[in-house]
Structure 1
Amino acid sequence: MADTVRAIAWGAMKILQTYYQGEDSAQLNIDHRKPDGPVTAADLAANHHILEKLTAAFGTEAFGYLSEETHQGQDPLPQDWVWIIDPLDGTRDFIDRTGEYALHIALAYQQRPVLAFVGVPEANKLYFAAQGQGCFVENGSGGEIRPVSIVAPAPDQALTLVVSRTHRDQRFQNLIDQLPFRDRHYVGSVGCKIVAILEQQADVYISLSGKSAAKDWDFAAPELILTEAGGQFTFFDGQPLRYNRGDVCQWGGILASNSPQHLALCQLATQTLATLPI
């Protein structure tokens, strides 16, 4: 199964790169009407490729398909096995050509991810993980595959937070301003943020819902590649994330890290948040 999905992911990444490298921005057909952010022809083309190939390989009886570009309704999919797909995570960065966009494909079983793929097209890398089997990165399609393990910071080492350049309301800004991070590393998509932790460019990522929240397809694949590499990815109260619950929004505070201080950071975030105005 993993080999099949890796091939599908590389095919989708090639589609994204073709659009990204095109000189005519009009070919993107950018649609700004979607409440959660713009949609481009690249999102739709990659999504079509992924769904077409996955359904051909695995069918629709045992497997459900939860994709950002086709999701409708508020009921959970009935299948125990659900593919959770974001064909282009970081569309704004894609449009702005920062290079910080990613592809997410995850397979969840009974609401928890068991197989995950995060592709970073502009780095020509595909990170993938299976539950209990570790995390790996493939350098180029058919290229070298090597294991990925986080390097935990020393107990007295100051930590670096990876955060978006935008998408921060004032409450979230107040929270991260009061937490003891040495530095901030600004990155676009969630997938690229978690890769920054894997590649020792950052230590902690925080998400805090406000009027809106990150969605299932933002987190399912990045969560598993981080945890299989030895990191942690939880709500502030230490509880695991659940997917395909009907409401695709992941409300609340979520923290991902490479740090042995993960739970202490969660507790500090909760205590700090309690002091801030709603």
Structure 2
Amino acid sequence: MSELKDLGEGRYEGLEEIVAIARSVGWGAADILQSYYRGHTDDSSLELKIEEKKDGPVTAADVAANHYILQKLQEAFDPETFGYLSEETYKSLSEQTKESLVNTPWVWIIDPLDGTRDFINKTGEYAIHIALVHQGRPIVAVVVWPEAEKLYSATLGGGTFVETPEGAKTPIRVSSRDAIANLSLVASRTHRDERFNQLLAQLPFKTKHYVGSVGCKIATIIEQQADVYISLSGKSAPKDWDMAAPELILTEAGGQFTHFDGTPLMYNQGDINQWGGLMASNGFCHQELCTQASAILAKIDA
């Protein structure tokens, strides 16, 4: 692999070779997940073995995909230089390792199966997230939606592309809809408390779609089927691995993804939770949407 270089001012050398490896890993992980999803009953090793945990269910598919992704990335990217932050292994890290990770400039952030509940319920709305962040910001991203047979990839400053298993790869952009009344919202079927429902009810979107995985939600924005996704933490919050890869594929496709106050999301900061209100959009009404959402929340919380 050619050397990855930080050229300063948000410019990097070597990203294309890195994203090519990440894309290959993404397709391989998709094959693993689909083997479990299809339920090959003739192979007992592919039983889901669902475990209900505090943060949601975990299956044998999560574990298998995670093992594959980490193995392939670590073969290509030296763990002495690159850190690895994955949903399936983070809790098992020692406090010393977690502290060391925060001080590592280059970190892979991975969700091997985003939308496990949708995977179990067979909605088809699950995804794989793989992102490389530098100093807390994503510079390479891959999101795979296996059941749509699509992989989305992006590099900082290089745009977003969508490809099929056959290898056809094309650039992709968000919609140009530029009035809030004409925008469509994509939201979670679950993970919505009463406070969030009140917020959504008071925003004047044309239509609302309900989709599982965050990666799938952002894909619907990139595919111009929706324009806005909102996340609002309550008792819990989305994690770094939920947002890092989807953020970059959206922003490189022309959209925006920020906190309600307009500040950027930061990753690998020690707290893996992304607290507060997060706004992802096609970019045309982004600031107005953030302002409206903040004002509505202020009244709800008064």
> Which TM-score applies when normalising by structure 1?
0.96
Q: Contact 1:89–1:104 (CA<8 Å) still a contact in 2?
A: yes
In 1, are the aligned partners of 2:125 and 2:211 still within 8 Å (CA)?
A: yes
Checking the alignment, whether the CA contact within 8 Å between 1:76 and 1:245 is kept in structure 2 is no
Q: 1:101 corresponds to which residue?
A: 126
- 1:36 partnered with 2:38: no
Contact 1:75/1:247 (<8 A) preserved: no
| Partner residue, 1:8 | 25
For the pair 1:250 / 2:274, whether they are aligned, the reply is yes
- 1:18 maps to 35
Q: How many residues align?
A: 276
State yes or no: 1:227 paired with 2:251: yes
Structure 1's 241 and 76: CA in aligned 2 closer, same or farther, altered over 3 A? Answer: farther
Is contact 1:75-1:245 (8 Å) kept? no
Shift of 1:23: 5.1
Shift of the 6–179 alpha-carbon distance from structure 1 to 2, 3 Å rule, reads same
Residues 218-263 of structure 1, C-alpha deviations (whole Å, 9 max, x = no match): 0000000000000000000000000000110000000000041100
Q: What CA distance in whole angstroms lies between the structure 2 residues aligned with 1:44 and 1:110?
A: 27
Which of 47, 50, 55 matches 1:27?
47
CA distance in 2, matches of 1:176, 1:155: 17
User: Could you tell which deviates more after superposition, 254-263 or 205-214?
Assistant: 254-263
* Separation of aligned partners in 1, 2:70 and 2:79: 10
How big is the alpha-carbon RMSD for the aligned residues of Structure 1 and Structure 2?
1.5
Stretch moving more, 20-29 or 236-245:
20-29
% identity of equivalent residues: 61
Partner of 1:215: 239
* Matched residue, 2:182: 158
Deviations 1:150-174 (A, max 9, x none): 1220437521110011110110111
The equivalent residue for 2:8 is none
Gaps of 5+ in 2: 1-17
Q: Which amino acid aligns with 1:173?
A: N
8 Å CA contact 1:175–1:269 kept in 2: the answer is: yes
In structure 1, give the amino acid aligned to 2:281: S
User: 2:230 touches 2:278 (CA, 8 Å); kept in 1?
Assistant: yes
Per the alignment, residue 159 of structure 2 pairs with: 134
| C-alpha distance in 1 between matches for 2:226 and 2:115 | 18
1:277 deviates by: 3.3
Contact 1:153/1:259, CA 8 A, preserved across alignment:
no
User: How do 1:21-170 residues align onto structure 2 when only pairs under 5 Å count?
Assistant: 21-22=38-39, 24=41, 27-32=47-52, 34-72=53-91, 73=95, 75=99, 77=101, 78-140=103-165, 142-155=166-179, 157-170=181-194
* Whole-Å separation in 2 of the counterparts to 1:174 and 1:252: 16
Paired residue type of 1:161: L
- Which consecutive aligned stretches of 4+ in structure 1 deviate over 2 angstroms post-superposition? 23-26, 72-76, 154-157
Contact 1:76 1:244 in 2 (8 A): no
**Letter of the structure 1 residue corresponding to residue 290 of structure 2:** C
> Contact conserved, 1:66 with 1:84, CA < 8 A, in 2?
yes
Scaled by the length of structure 2, what TM-score is found?
Answer: 0.89
SS in 1 for 2:238: coil
Name the CA distance, whole Å, in 2 between partners of 1:165 and 1:8: 29
2:215 matched to 1:191? yes
Using the TM superposition, give the Cα deviation of residue 2 of structure 1 relative to its aligned residue in structure 2, in angstroms.
Answer: 1.7
Question: For structure 1, which runs of at least 5 residues remain unmatched after alignment?
Answer: none
Query: What is the Cα deviation at residue 75 of structure 1?
Result: 3.4
